[in-house]
Amino acid sequence: MITTNNSPSPRPLPRPESITRPYWEAARQHRFVIQRCLDCDRSIHYPRAICPDCLSDHLGYEEVTGAGTIYSFTVTYRPPPAFADEAPYIVALVDLANGVRLVTRIVDAAPEDISIGANVLVDYMEVSSEVILPVFRLVGSAAQQG
Ligand code: ZN
């Protein structure tokens, strides 16, 4: 269990447990993995103990490209205290090619550069000595303006 955060920020950190540990360990290695049901083949995110479709507990992880599109987004101007230094920041719903929709941050982009349908690619944000978060950044023409 990761419990320490050596930065002065009180930023909350994920606490990997048996089901989620493969996701966080892959992120530490800059690999993006998504849980998959080995019985019905559905991709699953967030990680769970059983498949939400067929209730199988025969689940594994597969590495995916991390390419996606923005389904929707919001810009946070008034964040909780732990994230005050990062505002404004963008929180988005990103659709992956495997059908997974996940909540994530869009990094290195101004709010005016974001649009629904924009192409994004996974990247990695080190938030402590032990935790790396998968985040996303714009790709294509929108990303090349800055
Ligand atoms: Zn299933």
Q: One digit per residue, pLDDT tens: the chain, 146 residues?
A: 444 444 455 789 999 999 999 999 999 999 999 999 999 999 999 999 999 999 999 999 999 999 999 999 999 999 999 999 999 999 999 999 989 999 999 999 999 999 999 999 999 999 988 999 999 999 986 555 54
50 CA → ligand 1 middle, Å: 8
Q: Structure pTM?
A: 0.86
CA distance 95 to 39: 23
Q: Residue 108: left (phi > 0), alpha (psi -120 to 50), or beta?
A: left
pLDDT in the model for residue 10: 73
Distance 99 CA to ligand 1 centre (A): 14
Torsion-angle region of residue 33: left (phi > 0), alpha (psi -120 to 50) or beta?
Answer: beta
Ligand 1: distance of its center to the CA of 61 in Å? 13
| pLDDT number for residue 4 | 47
Helix (H, G, I), strand (E, B) or coil at 112: helix
Distance 97 CA to ligand 1 centre (A): 18
Q: What share of the chain is helix, strand, coil (3-state, %, to 5)?
A: 15, 35, 50
Helix intervals (H) in 6-142:
21-28
Determine the distance separating the centroid of ligand 1 and the alpha carbon of 44, expressed in angstroms: 9
Q: Which residues contact 11 (CB under 8 A, 6 or more apart)?
A: 5, 82, 83, 127, 128
Ligand 1 center to 57 CA (angstroms): 8
Q: Residue 51 in contact with residue 40, Cβ under 8 Å?
A: yes
- How far does the centroid of ligand 1 lie from the alpha carbon of residue 36, in Å? 8
| pLDDT at site 144 | 52
